[in-house]
Chain A
C-alpha cells in the first residue's frame, strides 16, 4: 500500500524559510519512473503545482516560485524535502505531496496535506 505523509511547522513568520518533509512508503524513489511532487492550496482556492523530483534526481519547479524553492530527496529514508524561502502570508495554505510517474502527469496517491500559516 502506497502512503505519503507531510510534516512541517504549522506556523511560520514572514521572511522565514519553510521546510516540509514528505515521508512515503510502498514505493521507492530509486525505482525508474517514480517521482514525488508538491502541490499547495490556499484556503478556499484552487490547487497549484509547486515542484517535482524524479527518481534520477531531475528537479522541476513552478515558474513563479522557482527562485524560492529547493526540492531534494533522501532515498534511504524514503523522504522528499521541500524548502521555500522568504515566506509571505500569501503562501498560507495546505501543502500536499503526491506520487507521480515521471513518464506521465497525474498524481495517483496523495498525502493528507499539512496546513501552513504565515503570520507574524
Chain B
C-alpha cells in the first residue's frame, strides 16, 4: 500500500489543465519541502519533473507547476499535449526516522 495517496486517473483535452493531488501526513509531505514528481511513459524509466515542491529541472516546460498546501501536494499541467499522457508519481522525504523516500500509487493521465 503506497504511503502517499494519489487519484488513480485524471484526464483532460489538449490545451486544458489538469491537477494531480498527492496526500500524505504532517510527518512527510506536510513536514518537509521535499516533494518531487516523476513522469513515466510505458516501458520507460521515470523522469524528474518537479523537485522541492515547485522547482523545475532544466528542460521541463513551465506548463508543469508544483505546489503544496498542508499535507497535500499538487502537480498542475497546463496546455495539455498528447505527449503528457503518462503515469505521474509523487514522492516525499519519509522523515528523519527512516531517511527513506515515500511514493504515491501513481496517477494515469489520459489526454483525450
Contact = CB atoms under 8 A, between A and B. Distances in A.
Interface residues of A, number: 21
What interface size band does chain B fall in?
20 to 34
A16 B93 CA distance: 31
A71 to B, nearest CB: 12
Nearest to B40: A47
B45 A111 contact: yes
B101 A105 contact: yes
Contacts of B106: 46-47
B103 A105 contact: no
Interface of B: 2, 32, 34, 36, 38, 44-48, 51-52, 57, 89, 91-94, 98-106
Interface of A: 37, 39, 46-49, 52, 60-63, 96, 104-108, 110-113
